[in-house]
Amino acid sequence: MATKKLAFVVRSLPYKTEASRLALTHAISSQTVEIYLNDGDLVEASISYVGDGVFNILKNQQAGKHYGITTNEGHAKNTLLLDLKVLICKEDLDKFGLTEENLVMDAEDLGGDMRANIVSYNEIQKEMETADHLLFC
Amino acid sequence: MGKLTIGTFSSLVGSMSLDFAVKLSEAAVKKGHKVDFWMSGNATMLAKKGQKAFKDYSFLSKTLQEMLATGNFNITACEACAEARGYHKEDCPDGFQRKSMDWYLASTFEADRVLHIGGD
């Protein structure tokens, strides 16, 4: 019985490429990974938004209206609904003039009780150091 | 011998990242390591049979088939990513698998190293 920690580090812009969306959907898939593992074994995913990646969690994304696809905002909300650990780099938010008010911080409207954490890059570094594997997207 | 899990998002033509990932896999397999190779997003283009070799474009099919023949190489495409691009089960080359994303995360569980090439 063991748990492997995977740290997804989202650093790419939303919609420009598929990378950040795939980071979120892969992290969400950690919820069903047990079907491939032995009883008691787990894969635990966390998500950290750094650099341009913080734009993935902006509120009021209009991808449905303009492109007819789901939003990264919706996926970000699902990660919180599924109790994944979510970290957002404070220095990068400051750099872009973004605050908590601009971001998806919880999934309360869907019944979730997890909140995203705005933290310094040092905290994200610690998360990466404690992970078994890093996945940059 | 170890196990390497490599995840790729980049396309076959238009980026050299997939070439790098396959080269790296080849080196690892030649040393006797096991490699799980995961293709998601545009990388699923590699899971389309019938590709032809041109001097101007990457052609990785021969290398992949050689690696598959060793028994130490497993190549799997994200089923949803492939279907979204019109690559169906019958388009998949021999020896390739199609699975959902949780297969990739499960593969990382026993991997000694994970290389995730997530750019495009």
Q: Assess if CATH 3.30.360.10 describes domain B3-10+20-49+58-110.
A: no
Q: What are phi and psi of A84, to 5 degrees?
A: -75, 150
Contact present, A33 and B105 (Cβ < 8 Å): yes
User: What pLDDT does residue A100 have?
Assistant: 97
Pick A22's closest partner by Cβ from B9, B100, B113: B9
Gap between the Cα atoms of A93 and A47, Å rounded = 16
The residue-averaged pLDDT of A24-50 equals 96
User: What pLDDT does residue B120 have?
Assistant: 66
Q: How many CA atoms lie within 13 A of A39 on its CB side?
A: 0
User: What pLDDT does residue A1 have?
Assistant: 83
Pick A22's closest partner by Cβ from B41, B100, B106: B41
| A31 → chain B, closest CA residue | B102
Amino acid at B66: E
Residue by residue, pLDDT tens for chain B (120 residues) are 999 999 999 998 888 899 999 999 999 999 999 999 999 999 999 999 999 999 888 899 999 999 999 999 999 999 999 999 999 999 999 999 999 999 999 999 999 999 998 776
User: What pLDDT does residue B111 have?
Assistant: 97
Across all residues in chain A, what is the average pLDDT? 96
User: What pLDDT does residue A83 have?
Assistant: 85
Gap between the Cα atoms of B117 and A17, Å rounded = 14
This model of the complex carries an ipTM of 0.82
Residue A69: Cβ within 10 Å count: 11
Q: Domain A3-136: which topology? A: Hypothetical Protein Ychn; Chain: A, (3.40.1260)
Distance from CA of A72 to the nearest CA of B (A): 15
Reported as a single tens digit per residue, the pLDDT across A56-105 is 999 999 999 999 999 999 999 999 999 899 999 999 999 999 999 999 99
Which positions in chain A touch B107 (Cβ < 8 Å)? 36
User: What pLDDT does residue A54 have?
Assistant: 98
User: What pLDDT does residue B14 have?
Assistant: 81
Domain residue extents for chain A: 3-136
